[in-house]
Chains A and B, each alone.
Chain A
Amino acid sequence: MQRFSAWSLLKQAFGSHGGWQPQWRRATPKPAYDAIVVGGGGHGLGTAYYLAAEHGLRNIALLEKSWIGGGNTGRNTTILRSNYLFDESARLYDHSLKMWRDLSQVLNYNVMYSPRGVLMLAHSVHDVQVLKRHIHANRCNGVDNEWLSPAEAKAFCPPLNIERNIRYPVMGGALQRRGGTARHDAVAWGYARAADALGVDIIENCEVTGIRRDAGGAIQGVETSLGYIASRKVGVVAAGNSSVVMGMAGVRLPLESFPLQALVSEPVKPVMPCVVMSNSIHAYVSQSDKGELVIGAGTDAYTSYTQRGALHVNMHTLAAICELFPAFRRMRMLRNWGGIVDVSPDRSPIIAKTAVPGLYVNCGWGTGGFKATPGSAHLFAWTMAHDEPHPINAPFTIERFREGLLIDEAAAAAVAH
């Protein structure tokens, strides 16, 4: 792998940058692999990378039906945080947040991890109770999260409106300083490049159309738009399309896929120093390094695979943004897009073996998967390599729904995440 650094950039500058090599090969499928990862988003690419880097597998294929990083990885608002309520979730997301810290160096690709702080606002007595419960639980779990008064919140985020005369005044907020943002494309490309360097075949425009199982029911391989590819180990990381792909193996999932929209403003000079989230009035905003305000909207009400949503969903979000940041009313929406998020009944992911030998699934991340990318990939690779879950993802099974062992962050906190 050609090393990236200021020095290599300088050196290449003298050669008009003619010496750069492809960041990953355009691989064509071999007949068989030791492991196949289906889905070329950040979670899938990371899984392929960790399978190769940490578990010694070399003969790995990653299949992507379109272009890598083009699903939710490239469509989200890039918020990173780990201030989840339940011990299981906090462990999972903090595992990930710790990995973000070193990811640029590990991958030799600047993923622009920016721990600028995530501030979650409270607008009611109930919100305060909920956020304070998070803060206490997080502290005891070793996850940073602190309470800010309205004045402290304003000091941390100067454009925030803390006047009492708005419909739902800010009553304070929970700040996770290690939370922040990262560059979404860089995560996908960084993993792709690092995985490719370890021999992983990254195969784009290769859609899985069937899953073949042997007489005993175990995984044999996958049918694809580029032909049959054999493997005894298949990990599906297909986000919004998980139900569709897993259905090919006869596995039904407790998922529904909803449109989730986001939008950016035109770029302006720095005005938002941190990430602000308000779950009760549905506003999620930060500012990209390019200067665009990056704003997350809610999910649409109905399931859909169209990758677009309704205008009124954005309108609701922008109304909330304009209340919290009244100076932004004259800012302008530049671009709006939709993703497809796979939502589980308890809003927590599934990272697990399945009843089908050799078939693994990583799904159900809902609206909050980006932050978990390195941790999810790392744990899923472990699960695939060892044919058993890592202790951190052991609670995140499919069976938990049958047993009633839900990890219901959404219900517990009345928090979308």
Chain B
Amino acid sequence: MSECRGKGGVLINRNLVVNFSFDGRSYSGFAGDTLASALLANGVHLLGRSFKYHRPRGLLAAGSEEPNALVTVVRGNEARSVPNLRATQVEIYAGLVAHSQNRWPSLGFDVGAVNDWLSPLFPAGFYYKTFMWPRFAWHRWYEPRIRAAAGLGRAPGGPDPDSYAQCYAHCDVLVVGAGAGGIAAALAAAGSGARVILCDENGALGGSLLDERANSQGGSDAAIWLRTALTQLAALPNLTLLPRTTAFGYFPHNMLGLCERITDHLATPAAGVPRERLWQVRAREVVLATGAIERPLVFPGNDRPGVMLASAARTYLHRYGVRVGSRVVVLAGCDAAYGVALDLHAGGIGIEAIADVRTGAHLVAPAAIAAARAEKIRVVERATVLGTSGRLRVNSVSLGVVAADGSVSNAGTLPCDALLMSGGFTPSVHLHSQSRGQLQWQADAGVFVPAAAAENERSVGAARGLEGLQQALEDGTQAGLTAAKACGLTPHAYSARIAVQEYSTRGAPGALAQPGARTPAKAFVDWQNDVTTRDLQLAMREGFYSIEHIKRYTTTGMATDQGKTSGLNALAIIAGSSARQVPEVGLTTFRMPYTPVSFGILAGYDRGDQFDPVRRTPMHACAENLGAVFEDVGMWKRAWYFPQRGEDMHQAVARECRAVRTGCGMFDASTLGKIEVVGPGAVEFMNRLYVNSWNGLAVGRSRYGVLLRDDGFVYDDGVVARLADERFHVTTTTGGAARVLGMMEDYRQTEWTDLKVWLTSTTEQWAVIAVQGPRAREVIAPLIEGCDLSAAALPHMAVARGTICGAPMLLFRVSFTGELGFEINVPADYGAAIWEAVRAAGQKYDIVPYGTEAMHVLRAEKGYIIVGQETDGTCTPDDVGLSWAIGKSKPDFVGKRSLSRPAMLASGRKQLVGLLTADPHVLLDEGAQVTATAGQVAPMKLIGHVTSSYRSEALGRSIALAMVVDGRARQGQTLYVPMPGGDLPVQVTAPVFYDPQGARLNG
């Protein structure tokens, strides 16, 4: 690393040598280095290949705007690899392993570079014009090859073992960017008592304060000021400092998304520490001190390794002590480039020349030129660049001179090993624009600056086009005080001063002049996506006029850097080529994120079991102990079936069904939704809401209720019990509990404010054990006190209170199986104990726990529907045979009016029927379709579909429920279920297969 590493470097610690590898070769750097600075220090300039032409590329920048030097960092194994990281943002640690991307077989010799030779065939949008013949060839031939060639790095190779954190934060003032303006704003606001968060995307705070030349004492005034300021910041209890934290998104109502990188820079992260953290910050006021990004210049061959932004060279020198070259040519599109040249010169780097590419005299500050010449640096005025040479690193630059008439003459070739350029600085208005703040074109500076804000935010310093550290400090201070005042605080005077030599950062975006009308082939505007001036002009020639179209056609600004260095140059070139002003061309929308953000932090804690809450019933552990297999129903885990040794699902379900029909079964019904409807208006409320009439329902009795939406379609169902005159216990489907309560509240609060009624969800207050079967009464009787279980005292659909094993109980005499049945409701905490007590009591009757699958079979044998299985949001009560439930004398209920719409009354609606296959062993597929005639070919005339299909243990054959057009009138007919193997004949029956008279459940 010898000759490239000079003196100085405020961020590196020369006492700590750090070894790392790049493309399999070992290198060493210092603690504090980025991968970019460390490789430069080792003389490595070739870091990547471009996306399309595979051109050799080095570092363009030193910060997050870097388009070229994208690397894959592998930590341990492929599961911990991350592609497409910018080498300029990767902080090195001992053992870091990094690889270059998108090259084969090696970075130095890349076969893909043949694309560069063939580039005349690949102009912008070439793929829209070809690969169309023969028709199938796009998908089979061309696309796979294009896909293989595209992409940058490789996706990680396995499940990510790391964790990610998320948090919310609230503050008075959020300051984004810890450069001069941001630090001043934070100090001013926090000094006034505001709760402040200050974040910066870099590990080292200070921004361009870190880029000032050291004085004779070894520090700079800026560095001294920074040290003091950081000490002050650290001492403020009301300030949170977040380094390595990128504010990536600005969301409505002053919420910002911040991504904090916690472990990626560490050699050995502590176990359990999250890799990154998402901050969602709601700030009363926001200060955007996001700085400005230097623009490259657009000229032929501007992409060779060694061609770099001038400020980047300065950053490498002052922060890392790294020299980007020993013979440097500086292309000055603004005064700041002179400052860089003078710094490099003072750092012992040979400056071959400064080529001042400005042709508008008003832009040139004579003082800068004089300062350079005073140091005996050659200055070429009115220069342009005709080309560069050097395969893997630039070795010369051909200059031209632009005459007053615009003609260009050759001015010779200069040897160089680094070519630095500065086209001026573009304010980073991304976040301001994301917040929907307006932008304004500042013609004299050639940039867009923030105008009216849409949120409580303000940009400061370079982010709003101001120049120099002192202005940034003053502007930041003012903004911090204003923000504090807006938060209702009294601003506390604060001021800061730094004496530094300032150079103007104003330039003119666009391409450098070229001889004649020639448009050079390889003058890059967007480095990563290989977009050249020619591509932009081709797009315009082809009629693309809107900037959005040109962007999409050429892909300029759509690479992983999102146009940070290319955007304004592209606009200016487009404007210049179409005789428009830049504002007329317009800007493309700035979209979040500012820089790419890991999926991991956005997914956060929502992984594994925490992806969604798991709801378990009070008897869950009991079912687990019994070996239950569970199914997911909404968020609930429900016992699906209880296989005993050697049983498959079918055998288990058959056994469970048999037990319920012949002896006794028990079932966990706790997941059903339960809502208490209470108050003087409860009856009327229920009358208006459900299709049924509730006036006649006696206390201690229950009824099957049907709920529609106002569009007339079945929405939910469940047993509703009247516990007292003004108290109903409403049950809902498992999945429908929340939405039914929501619907009830909607009508209660906004439509029927005349009714005094209160609603309470009691789903989780009750554990519910269904005990079903001819022996059910005998099983539970010994456990129950305070309630008469006899058929006379507790008939079907009766409800009683009592105790079971001493626990308070609400007992429903209900049946979803068609057998004598009870549903024991006990407070949830008693659920498991009562479950075990019932099971113990049932042992002598061979009681069998059954799951949801057996429950489905049993209810299907009885023709009981499941909302969501028989119905699908398009069914009326009549369609599913529930007309009987409708209270005929009621003037209104939710959905009633819609039931009289023409289509609801017309014939041809699907109706619930039973289907029996001709072959009793054939089990229909749920979802299978029904036709009236056999032998149809697609497209068939479909008249229905199978909604439920089971092997019925009680009937010894298969059964099915189906929705069939005019189905009730088709009873006895033979219909067909077309399957890939042929039509299955089926007979239409009533939907009740077992005990149609209901004798058993009244037992």
Contact = CB atoms under 8 A, between A and B. Distances in A.
Interface in A380-417: 400, 402-406, 408, 410-414
Contact of A67 (B546, B591, B612, B633): B546
Select the residue from B128, B591, B904 with max chain A CB neighbours within 10 A.
B128
B549 interface: yes
Contact of A315 (B156, B552, B602): B602
B540 to A, nearest CB: 9
B884 interface: no
Interface in B519-537: 519, 521, 534
A287 B363 CA distance: 47
A9 B151 contact: no
Contact of B903 (A24, A404, A410): A404
Interface in B208-261: 249, 251-252, 255, 257
A302 B732 CA distance: 27
A268 B872 contact: no
A152 interface: no
Select the residue from B138, B147, B608, B938 with max chain A CB neighbours within 10 A.
B147
B597 A319 contact: no
Contacts of B155: 159, 268-269, 271, 327-328, 331
B444 interface: no
A330 B84 CA distance: 11
Interface stretch (A31-39, A46-54, A137-145, A222-230): A137-145
Contact of A333 (B602, B873, B874): B602
A133 B903 contact: no
Contact of A322 (B83, B562, B597, B603): B603
Contacts of A336: 249, 591-593
Interface string A6-45: 1011100110111011111110000000000000000000
B599 A20 contact: no
A67 B599 contact: no
A14 B138 CA distance: 25
Interface in B934-987: 936, 938-940, 942, 945, 978, 980
Contacts of A149: none
B747 interface: no
A403 B901 CA distance: 6
A340 to B, nearest CB: 14
A65 interface: no
A166 interface: yes
B929 A140 contact: yes
Nearest to B144: A270
A228 B150 CA distance: 47
Interface in B588-641: 589, 591-593, 596-600, 602-604, 606-612, 614, 631-633, 640
**Interface range on chain B (Cβ under 8 Å from partner):** 35 or more
B432 to A, nearest CB: 15
B701 to A, nearest CB: 32
B255 to A, nearest CB: 8
A161 B159 CA distance: 9
Interface stretch (B129-137, B328-336, B832-840, B914-922): B129-137
Contacts of A320: 611
Interface in B545-575: 545-546, 548-549, 552-553, 555, 558, 560, 562
B543 A25 contact: yes
Contacts of A335: 558, 562, 591, 593
A6 B992 CA distance: 67
A385 to B, nearest CB: 25
Interface string A186-221: 100110000000000000100000000000000000
**Interface range on chain A (Cβ under 8 Å from partner):** 35 or more
A9 B156 contact: no
Nearest to A205: B546
Given A20-B542, A133-B945, A334-B562, A110 B131 contact: yes
A114 B901 contact: no
Interface stretch (B119-127, B403-411, B651-659, B723-731): B119-127
Contacts of B604: 315, 319
A327 B160 CA distance: 6
Given A124-B633, A140-B939, A334-B596, A318 B128 contact: no
A327 B543 contact: no
Contacts of B945: 133, 136-137
A323 interface: yes
Nearest to A322: B603
A305 interface: no
Interface stretch (B74-82, B185-193, B352-360, B819-827): B74-82
B158 interface: yes
Contacts of B600: 322, 329-330
B497 interface: no
Given A168-B612, A332-B599, A114 B152 contact: no
Contacts of A136: 925, 927-929, 945
B903 A267 contact: no
A308 B591 CA distance: 9
B730 to A, nearest CB: 23
A328 B129 contact: no
A4 B131 CA distance: 10
B280 interface: yes
20 contacts: A109-B128, A132-B927, A135-B927, A190-B128, A204-B546, A291-B152, A315-B606, A316-B606, A319-B602, A319-B604, A329-B599, A330-B80, A334-B560, A334-B562, A334-B596, A336-B592, A337-B589, A337-B591, A405-B903, A411-B874
Given A327-B159, A333-B593, 19 more contacts: A17-B534, A20-B542, A26-B545, A68-B549, A101-B135, A125-B640, A126-B869, A140-B938, A140-B940, A167-B611, A189-B128, A189-B553, A267-B150, A315-B603, A326-B158, A326-B159, A330-B599, A333-B598, A337-B589
Closest 5 A/B residue pairs (Cβ): A411-B873, A22-B543, A133-B927, A291-B151, A142-B938
Interface of A: 4-6, 8-10, 13-14, 16-18, 20-26, 66-70, 74, 87, 91, 101-102, 104-105, 108-110, 112-116, 123-126, 129-137, 139-142, 159, 161, 165-168, 180, 183, 185-186, 189-190, 204, 265-271, 281, 287, 289-291, 306, 308, 310-311, 314-316, 318-323, 326-337, 345, 400, 402-406, 408, 410-414
